[in-house]
Structure 1
Amino acid sequence: MILKTFGWSFAVTGAGLVAALVFWGWEALAIVAILSVLEISLSFDNAVVNAGVLKRMNEFWQRIFLTIGILIAVFGMRLVFPVLIVSMTAQLGPVEAVELALDEPDQYEQLVTDAHPAIAAFGGMFLLMIFLNFIFEERENKWLKWLEKPLSKLGQIDGFSVGVALAALLLTATTIASNAAQHGGHYVDKTDTVLLSGVGGVLTYLLVGGLSGFFEHRLEEDQERAEEAEEAAHRAGEPTALGLAGRAAFFLFLYLEVLDASFSFDGVIGAFAITNHIFWMALGLGIGAMYVRSLTIYLVRQGTLDDYRYLEHGAHYAIGALAVLLLISIRWHINEVITGLLGVALIGASFWSSVRQNRLDAAEEEGKKPAVSSGV
């Protein structure tokens, strides 16, 4: 089961790590490995959400999502999107950005370093919005109850997460960004750049979230129509109408792609906190994306989405930590190893909490069972 589900992921991992070692050396190998783990840890909630929706699709649409969908996820979001970020922030064409990275790596590094405040502000605010909307939402399971319970009450205020994010952006722009680090140890005032980029990150999150909500609403409407048509056809003794079901599945596929794109932003943007090398980034995130797809299949086939209740919490706390580190990195350099391993530590802590809570629940359930008489 494991080899069948994760076989392609193992193969891509081996090929990617060998390529990193052969072309760039041991440092590249280490960074690619850390990025792979980072992508997997940040995207575990992505796999959980994908699996919850994917199990409602038939086998044909599951194959579409796991074939065409992986092409969009790996080559679109993990390969093309980082190049576009570099192109926009450094004011270069995509082809020029790639050529510069290949032919003049020192100049490319200088351009990316100087553009880092804009990248960090955009990415930090996008990640912060993901974290805030999670932490302010009322949910049945709470990992850190002392923190999440009062915050969920504050989340009932309309637009509260956006207000907190904009306040954090204003604080960052007027303090940290006023003396932002640049290439060669220089410091310049990047207040305006950070403000504009940060607002762009917030707007991007709101746009992606709006599209996700739109597709989800269309899906619910089509499913209701399909159920009504199926019931009417059943009463009339006619075959079930497959057209509406197919359209519902199509919107479900679109909804999944928008969701996947929104979740992939955190991995792509978070990768800039570890490295500015677009090829190392692409290898690491591509490997991680393969495991996310394999994990989605595994969760669907095993039906274990609810077994580890706090993993989603750990993933979102990792996103929140990365958001803060990205904003801080506008002025101060943060060790890449600390940044990369922080998400893994939070995921591990949430996993252990889930296992421990499952054991407590099992012991409590066992204690409620009536004693069985052995008889005479």
Structure 2
Amino acid sequence: MRYMTAGESHGPEEIAIIEGIPAGLKITQDDINHELARRQHGYGRGQRQVIETDSVSILSGVRHQITLGSPITLNVHNDDHSHWSKIMDPNTPATAENSMRKVLRPRPGHADLVGGMKYRHDQDLRNVLERSSARETVMRVAVGAVAKKLLQEIDVDVHGFVCNIGPAHSDMSILTTFQNLDEIRKTSEKFPTRALDVKGDADMQAVIDQTKINANTVGGTVQVMATNMPAGLGSYVSANEKLDAKLARAIISINAFKGVDFGGGFANAEKFGDEVMDEIIWDADKGFSRTSNNLGGFEGGMTNGGVIVVRGVVKPIPTLYRPMQSVDIDTHENHRASIERSDTTAVTAAAVIAESMVAIELAKAVLDKFDADSIDRLKEQVAEYRNEIQKF
């Protein structure tokens, strides 16, 4: 399985093409739109989410809601493009009129300046920010929706949480000890952030409100958990086949993510071996399992049958309404950075995006190991493999 996305933030369309999804998987536009709506919601999101109502069109690879095995094309229209049609027009040469809203003052923490240097966009940094914008992640969530549907066929569930926004925390660490989905769902009802909307969390809401008053932005941490993944996906024999490494890369590839860990994560560095290693037990009905999950469901770059637990650190959004020090790339004079429409925080959206990226990498791992032509044959092979592992 592989995919590619295309589109600019204020361009007409966002597009993704997915190759390698087995034939026979049921997928609907409503399935994908549900995930797109989750990405848009969340306390602290900005005005763009009011303008856009993300809705997908499936253009190829699906017939009568069933995948064909051929490439799947997904399309989301940018409603805001109507306000930018002249500025973003690909078919007319640049003029004084359609070159309005140039960006010459790069924002600290964004791709503006370095992207301009790399691609020689020395006349307008908008050529950088239009693609480097997190708007691109709408298509990653769309692809992730397809991946989640595939994983559900083999009883694998993926769930994203918000752990903290700035100094305001929800105690999500207890969830790393759970070994089944029922436990996670039952306990997650106690946490308003499970719904990825912090309206029910007074501390988080207060941090966001004060940050907005200060014309600032705030980051946080998100956690993704995947249940019931078969043991043995990934490999120890080659560095580039380690599945936890692939997940780490996928998380860091998301806009604004600057750190990733698994299970007990960085806290394990302050502990001793007997506090960290997940001891092994055996049961005649279940086979091998672990008494804890400090390693986040991985050993040697492979899934070990436990709940996969991965966290990502999300930096504050670079675009501030109280812009920071910058330099004009034309005059080299000191100026405040350019201002683009932005959110106070996008940590809730980041949890959905991280959830999608984990689902994509896990789906890839499943399709690498089992039949990728037919969903029914894949399910048969997974069931046979689970039985083999249980009897080891």
Q: TM-score, normalised on structure 1?
A: 0.27
**Which structure has the highest strand share of the two?**
2
Relative contact order, higher structure (CA 8 A, sep 6+): 1
Q: TM-score, normalised on structure 2?
A: 0.26
**Which structure has the highest helix share of the two?**
1
